[in-house]
Structures are given as structure tokens and as C-alpha cells.
Amino acid sequence: MAKVKGPLFSLGATGALGHSLVYMTWKGIPDVRQYVVPANPKSALQIVQRGYMTDGVDMWHNADWNLADLAAFTLWASLSAGPMSGFNRTIKEYIAARVATGVWHPVTTLAVGSVLSTGFIVTAVGDATVAFTLNYGTSPTAMVQSETVSNTAGVLSSTLTLLTAGTNYYFEIVPTTALEYGRSGIGKQKTSA
């Protein structure tokens, strides 16, 4: 049922009028369009893509994310070209990984410990069969330095040393091999003064 503002003269309206017209606001502009039932061909490729989406959402909801993980995904998503949440960015990358190789290795339970003026330790949980690298730098868009990540039965750990005191550092944990996909978000830690 359409809702109107100023009946008879219809200064504004929203909703559907039967199955013939739809009244809406599009980018702040009042609009009316023909009611159309969207096509849903359910092709084989479309079903596969929807399966990736479903699997990605299940992965997100079943992963053991902590608050540091969620903040890291939010920071990672903020670097996207358009507005995007950490959830949206992760699902987008998950689907791209599934299309490319079929495998995604989430990195969860991100934590920082032993913060000193010259460094800190980053820990997380990941796939025990995958080699990971920790990229870091003083900008979230230029993490040009890297350290190897020790992977002991899925417990990931990397120690950053020789850092500058009182400086913000950004870091991410990603698979070392080019054909492996998955990651943490982008974490942030300031060394002590």
C-alpha cells in the first residue's frame, strides 16, 4: 500500500500501489517506477556463487573472532574504495578466494603482548598446515616490512624488534604462498615511549 504525504496532491509517496507502481526516494529524489518482479534464473553458476556467499557468512559467524579481530577487520575495510564494513570486506575476499582456489584460511584471536619501546609480540590462531607472514609498517597502506610467523599446531606468533619508541605500527597476518588466501584484519599497536 502506498503512503502519501498531502493526499490528493501527493506531495510525497512511498511503497507499492497494487502490482503496478512503486513510489520511492532514490538518492533524495522522489521517484515512481513500474512494479517489476526480479528475474531469478537459478543458473548453475548462480547457485555456486550463492553457495560461496552462504559458506562465507557461515565462516564469519562460526569463527572465534575477538574484539581485536573485529577492530582489525574494520580498519582493513576502511581502506576500501567505497564504504564497507569488516564483515562485507571479508565476505568479498572470501568469495574471491573460493572462485580462485576454493580455499580460505581465516586468522582469528589476534592479540598483542609484551609491548616494549623496541617491539612487541603478535599472536593469533590459523591453519596449522599453512605458512604465514606478518607484514607491518607505520601506515596501514604501506606495510612494507615483513617477519616470518611461527606456526605451532595452528598457534601463530611473531616478534617485532628494532622498532621506534612511541610509534604506531600497523600489521596483518597473511599466507606466505601466493595461491593461499585468508588473513587477519589490520591491527594497530603503539610502542611504549
> For 13, left (φ over 0), alpha (ψ -120 to 50), or beta?
beta
Rounded to 5°, angle at Cα 169 from 119 and 144:
100
Whole-number pLDDT of residue 17: 81
Low-confidence ranges of the chain (pLDDT < 50): none
Q: Shortest CA distance to 86 belongs to which of 103, 67, 105? A: 67
Whole-number pLDDT of residue 5: 64
Query: Cell numbers of 129, please?
Result: 598446515
DSSP 8-state code for residue 118:
S
3-state secondary structure of 86: helix
User: CATH 3.40.718.10: does it fit domain 44-190?
Assistant: no
Whole-number pLDDT of residue 1: 60
The CATH 2.60.40.10 domain(s) of the chain lie at 44-190
The per-residue pLDDT for range 126-169, each reduced to its tens digit, is: 999 999 999 999 999 999 999 999 999 999 999 999 999 999 99
pTM: 0.76
